[in-house]
Amino acid sequence: MAEFSHVIERPKFSKYITHKQVNRFKLIALKFLKRTKVGIIPELVRDVDDNYLLGICGNCKADFLITGDQDLLVLKEYQKTRILTMALFMQIVQDAL
């Protein structure tokens, strides 16, 4: 949650999501989030500071990793986790409805 807060509060995201929406997401997420350990950290991403995200995905068997980070997006998938943009994720959600 700390990582999410740190990233989503960057000024570039304010044109996409309001502070109220961020807070609402945090309240909802806290009901569903579960703690997990990072697990094994692979060395796959050019920006080594992003590798821990893959470790988390692998350890908790995440279905999706939603990101705008091109270093992660080029992987497209890690183990069984699909790595995609928010726009593509929203399209998948809309198609499922």
Claim to verify: residue 80 and residue 44 sit in the same structural domain: yes
Claim to verify: residue 29 and residue 42 sit in the same structural domain: no
Claim to verify: residue 29 and residue 69 sit in the same structural domain: no
Return contacts of 64-69, CB within 8 angstroms, 24+ apart: 64/89
Distance CA 89, CA 66 (A): 7
Claim to verify: residue 68 and residue 29 sit in the same structural domain: no
Structure confidence at residue 42 (pLDDT): 93
Claim to verify: residue 53 and residue 15 sit in the same structural domain: no
DSSP 74: T
Claim to verify: residue 42 and residue 78 sit in the same structural domain: yes
Claim to verify: residue 69 and residue 28 sit in the same structural domain: no
Sheet with 64-66, side-by-side order of all strands: 64-66, 81-84, 77-78
- pTM (two decimals): 0.75
* pLDDT tens sequence for the chain (97 residues): 777 788 888 888 888 788 888 888 888 888 877 788 888 899 999 899 999 999 999 999 999 999 999 999 999 999 999 999 988 998 988 888 8
Claim to verify: residue 21 and residue 60 sit in the same structural domain: no
Claim to verify: residue 63 and residue 85 sit in the same structural domain: yes
Domain holding 27, by residue range, is 1-33
The Cα-based distances of 40 to 9, 67, 77 in angstroms read: 28, 20, 16
How many structural domains does the chain have? 2
Claim to verify: residue 45 and residue 88 sit in the same structural domain: yes
3-state SS, residue 18: coil
Claim to verify: residue 29 and residue 44 sit in the same structural domain: no
Structure confidence at residue 15 (pLDDT): 81
